[in-house]
Amino acid sequence: MPAKLIVQGLSHHYPDEYTGESVHALDDINLEVEDGEFVSVVGPSGCGKSTLLNILAGLLPYREGSVTVDGNVIDGPGHDRGVVFQEHAILPWRTVARNIGHGLELQKVPKGERNRKVKEFIDLVGLEGFEDRYPHELSGGMKQRCAVARTLCADPVVMLMDEPFAAVDAQTRITLQEELIRISIATKKTILFITHAVDEAAFLADRCMVFSRRPGRLIATVDINIPRQDRNWNEMSSNSEFTRARDQILKLVRGEVSADEA
């Protein structure tokens, strides 16, 4: 079976309208994500991670290379690719339930079926009792849960996440990471997760891709062979596979950073 997400020879230059020069953000990226796989992407700040995600989401047009999802060439946004942004982007004028059901509403799914699915995902992310609240009445962590539920409820083929837990406190982040593991087991979604936190990248993913400084290049891929159901923070500190993977990723990221700074 071919991979869900295939990126071939993808490069990206941002034009600079003032100087006429261009910023080289991505350089010849080749990667594949299999069905049901959880892949994380780490790299130094400004290396082009968000650029990659925006291209995959269809929000940023690309000219060099090719990107396909389920065999379809990406040409604009579509509900086959769900996105969770760093800054939760749930709509302030919709209640939690209406935000989560928004994707289905846009696809004109009948109300009865929609309500059933919304309930399912509210339960999945633990927002029971908050269905009729507005986003400003939620904590930061709850907003992110709502954003994750909204993306999942639209039933995308691939879920793209851009540093979704960067803006919440450390305690909440740990909880959200464990919840995401549980959700990924329950939904078997294919997930591409961008982060700059090495711990997070190793904890969540089956495979971690490490990017170089700008222009972003894929410098290494690290496999993390830990069954999904064994992933919880209590056991990770004594899990040798986790510490090995984490240290390896850290070295790759560090090496890249210091090599450039020297």
Partner 1 sequence: MRHSRHPLWKFGRFLRDANFSHFVVSVVVILVIWSITSATIDNPGRYLPSPLAVALSSVDMLYKGILPSYFADTIRRLVLGSIIGLSLGIPFGLLLGLNRTISDMFYPLLNFFQSISGIAIFPIIVIWWGNSDKTVLAIVLYTSFFPLAYTVLSGVREVPMKYIHAVRTLGATRFQVIRDVLLPGAMPSIVTGTRLSISFAWRAVIAGEMLAGREGLGWMIFTGQDADLTTQVILGMLMIGCSWIILDHYLLRPLEMDTIERWGLVQR
Ligand X SMILES: Nc1ncnc2c1ncn2[C@@H]1O[C@H](COP(=O)(O)OP(=O)(O)OP(=O)(O)O)[C@@H](O)[C@H]1O
Q: Which one of residues 4, 81, 143, 207 is an interface residue with partner 1 (CB under 8 A)?
A: 81
Is 57 a residue that touches partner 1 (CB under 8 A)?
yes
- Residue 191 interface partner, choices Mg ion, partner 1, ligand X, none, CB cut-off 5-8 Å depending on type: none
| 154 touching partner 1, by CB under 8 A | yes
Q: Give Cβ neighbours of residue 21 (< 8 Å, ≥ 6 apart).
A: none
Q: Tell me the C-alpha distance between 237 and 69, whole Å.
A: 36
Query: Where does this chain touch partner 1 (CB under 8 A) — which range of 31-39, 41-49, 88-96, 246-254?
Result: 88-96
Report what 29 binds from partner 1, ligand X, Mg ion, none; CB cut-off 5-8 Å by kind: none
> Is the distance from CB of 127 to CB of 95 less than 8 angstroms?
no
Q: In Å, what is the CA distance from 154 to each residue of 99, 107, 173, 207?
A: 11, 9, 24, 25
Q: How many whole angstroms separate alpha carbon 2 and alpha carbon 132?
A: 42
The interface partner of residue 230, options being ligand X, Mg ion, partner 1, none and the CB cut-off 5 to 8 Å by kind, is: none
Stretch that binds partner 1, among 52-60, 120-128, 186-194, 216-224 (CB under 8 A): 52-60
Q: First and final CA of the chain: distance in angstroms?
A: 44
- The nearest distance, CB 130 to partner 1, in angstroms, is 14
Q: How far is the CB of 84 from partner 1 (least distance, A)?
A: 9
Rounded-to-integer distance, Cα 61 and Cα 209, Å: 23
Task: Determine contact, residues 38/184, Cβ cutoff 8 Å.
Answer: yes
Partner from Mg ion, partner 1, ligand X, none binding residue 23, C-beta < 5-8 Å depending on class: ligand X
Cβ closest to partner 1, residue 44 vs residue 156: 156
**Is 58 among the residues that bind partner 1 (CB under 8 A)?**
yes
169 binds, among ligand X, partner 1, Mg ion, none (CB under 5 to 8 A by kind): none
Residues 246 and 224: their CA atoms lie apart, in Å, by 9
CB 63 within 8 A of CB 45: no
| Chain residues 9-68 in contact with Mg ion, contact rule CB under 5 A | 50
Residue closer to partner 1 by CB (options 70, 199) is 70
Dihedral angle over CA of 215, 216, 220, 224, nearest 10: 160
Size of the site for partner 1 (CB under 8 A): 27
12 binds, among Mg ion, ligand X, partner 1, none (CB under 5 to 8 A by kind): none
The only residue of 12, 49, 102, 246 in contact with partner 1, by rule CB under 8 A = 102
Alpha-carbon distance of 24 to 32, in angstroms, equals 22
Edge-to-edge strand order for the sheet containing 22-33? Answer: 22-33, 5-15, 64-69, 72-73
Tokens at 201, concatenated: 């990248």
Cβ nearer to ligand X, comparing 59 with 259: 59
Contact residues for Mg ion (CB under 5 A)?
50
